Structure 1
Amino acid sequence: MLLNGKPVDLDQLQVLGLTNYGHFTSMRVDAGRVRGLTLHLDRLTRDCRAVFGAELDQNEVRSYLRWVVDGCAESIVARVTVFDPYLDLGHPASASSPQVLVTTRAASSVPLAPLALTARRYERDVPAVKHVGLFGTMFHRRQAQLAGFDDALFVDGEGFVSEGATWNIGLIEGDEIVWPQAPVLPGITMALIQQERAGLQRRVNVTELDRYAGAFITNAAMGVRRIHAIDAIQWTDAVAPVEQIRRRYAAIPGEPI
């Protein structure tokens, strides 16, 4: 864990823990390479302008990442969090000195089981920004798991599908991928898949999910993962098309940090 490339003073993390104001991106690092690294860095730059009104030096961020991941033989997930350790809770408009925190965790190397989801009504605050305010998303994930599901699929007040707590959702219709058209956090994995296979965007109501032949989620840490059920709807014949999408994504070369 490094803050601006240096060991972290725990006092510097206090503001992040107590105010929960900042933004981040998470990326899987394999042998020093990251799929969509440029997109991750562009997200950090864009979100830093939105959250702090400040510019972020992408070359500095890359150097901080290199210091943390250098020598890692195993695949890891690196998270870059941008926050202002001097933020005043009463005057957040004064937050203008964003700092870069890099943390890591182990990446899963085991194929992940398909997911069972349940629909829950929730709309993310400031959905275009990957911000650190995760209470709402984690609350609904927890409620879904307590009810016996793996995760929650978010829908709005009219039942239109958007995304999940930490992922985007794709639906299979014939040879096409359908991405729900809604205010969502635009994921890097989704963007990379769209570069390879654009697909369609349309509003998708949760009551119409049975018209689709299958579904999957996308996330930088796990890539592509099949959904086998959303509430009472089940897909048992979607293994092959989702596996094809997963393989095409896995074949995208990573960019060196």
Structure 2
Amino acid sequence: MMELNGAPADLEAVKALALVNYGHFTSMRVDDQRVRGLSLHMERLQRDCRAVFATELDMDRVRECVRRAVAGHDGSFVVRVSIFDPALDMGHPSSAATPHVLVTSRPTGQLPMPPMRVQAVPYVRDVPAVKHIGLFGALHARRAAQLDGFDDALFYGPDDLISEGGTWNVGFIDREGSVIWPKAEVLPGVTMALLQQQHEHTVTHVTREAAHGMQAAFATNTSIGVRAISTIDSTPFPTEHPVLAALREGYQAAPGDLV
């Protein structure tokens, strides 16, 4: 399914996403017509539209486009809402923009997902606070990690501080059993925000060395929920932990909001 502004998408209009690659998006896991953190997803779209296009997004239109996309579809799937301007001129991106709303959907797996192995790599995403569509660097890092035998890449900056994964936030459980979120330039993830609302936590700097010394580690985003990390580089981590189980159960028990 692919609809632009509530109607079947025209290839001529959406090709700007590939050729100009300027815009932002959010992805939402839909479970039986409900989305966990729906208001946070809408706030993200509004906030990022100001940052990317310096204009206000018509949120009523966005919600209506999403409703059309999920209507009549049961079960679990992911809806992605991409905001872009098909008329954007690559030579003059500062021109006044008219944001369009592209809604697409794709299947998703059952939760919880199996643990994954990650490789720490030096990388910082462009404009980390915005969920923008420029994914080349993140996907290139993921590809390199997979070629080295891992499932994904875990980023750290020039200061040696752990930040995030390519399309997910990372959390840790320290030796005292406390939930730790890295203090760094990261995307403010919706799933991370929901978990922070539910569980006591600390946000602090986490070096690569400190990460290897944690009791457990996990990845979070709307598609994977709370996914255990079994290995960082050559350091193994347990994939079962009481705090990890509580995080996962709390997230999956959240009822979500009707679209």
Q: TM-score, normalised by structure 2?
A: 0.96
* 1:143 aligns to 2:126 (yes or no): no
197, 203, 215: which one pairs with 1:213?
A: 215
Matches within 5 A, 1:45-84: 45-84=46-85
1:223 is the counterpart of 2:240 = no
How much is the aligned-residue C-alpha RMSD, in angstroms?
A: 1.1
| Residues 129-161 of structure 1: per-residue CA shift (max 9 Å, x gap) | 000000000000000000000000000113210
Q: Quote the Cα distance in structure 1 between the aligned partners of 2:112 and 2:219.
A: 14
Q: Secondary structure at the match of 2:94?
A: helix
Contact preservation (8 Å) 1:86, 1:95: no
Distance 1:81 1:225 in 2: 25
Amino acid at match of 1:90: G
Equivalent position of 2:19 in the other structure: 18
Give the percent of matched residue pairs that are identical in Structure 1 and Structure 2: 50
Partner of 1:160: 161
Amino acid in the other structure paired with 1:220 = T
Q: Kindly provide the CA deviation profile for residues 90-118 of structure 1, in whole angstroms up to 9, marking residues without a partner as x.
A: 11111510100000001112642111111
Residues 79-228 of structure 1: pairs in structure 2 closer than 5 A:
79-109=80-110, 111-173=112-174, 174-228=176-230
Aligned-partner residue type, residue 172 of structure 2: L
CA gap 1:68/1:237 in 2 versus in 1, 3 angstroms:
closer
Q: Which has the higher mean CA deviation after the structures are superposed, 205-214 or 22-31?
A: 205-214
Distance 1:148 1:4, change over 3 A: same
- Report the Cα distance in structure 1 between the residues aligned to 2:211 and 2:203, rounded to whole angstroms: 15
Alpha-carbon shift at residue 235 of structure 1 (Å): 1.2
**For the residues of structure 1 that align with 2:91 and 2:244, how far apart are their CA atoms?**
48
Equivalent AA in structure 1 for residue 108 of structure 2 = A
Distance 2:239 2:131 in 1: 33
Match of 1:29 in 2: 30
The equivalent of 2:41 in structure 1 is 40
Alpha carbons 1:84, 1:95 under 8 Å: kept: no
Alpha-carbon distance, 1:60 to partner: 1.2
The one-letter amino acid paired with 1:150 is: D
5+ long unaligned stretches in structure 2? none
Amino acid corresponding to residue 34 of structure 2 in structure 1:
R
Q: Deviations over 1:199-228 (max 9, x none)?
A: 001111001223311000101011000001
Deviation at 1:192, TM superposition (A): 0.2
Contact 2:26 2:81 in 1 (8 A): yes
In structure 1, distance between residues paired with 2:57 and 2:64: 13
Q: Select between 103-112 and 231-240 the one with higher mean Cα deviation.
A: 231-240
SS at match of 2:68: helix
Listed as ranges, the gaps of 5+ residues in structure 1 are none
1:240 is aligned to 2:242: yes
Return the letter of the residue paired with 2:87.
Y
Give the number of aligned pairs: 257
Stretches of 4+ moved more than 3 A in 1? 237-240
Say whether the 8 Å CA contact 1:152–1:164 is kept in structure 2: yes
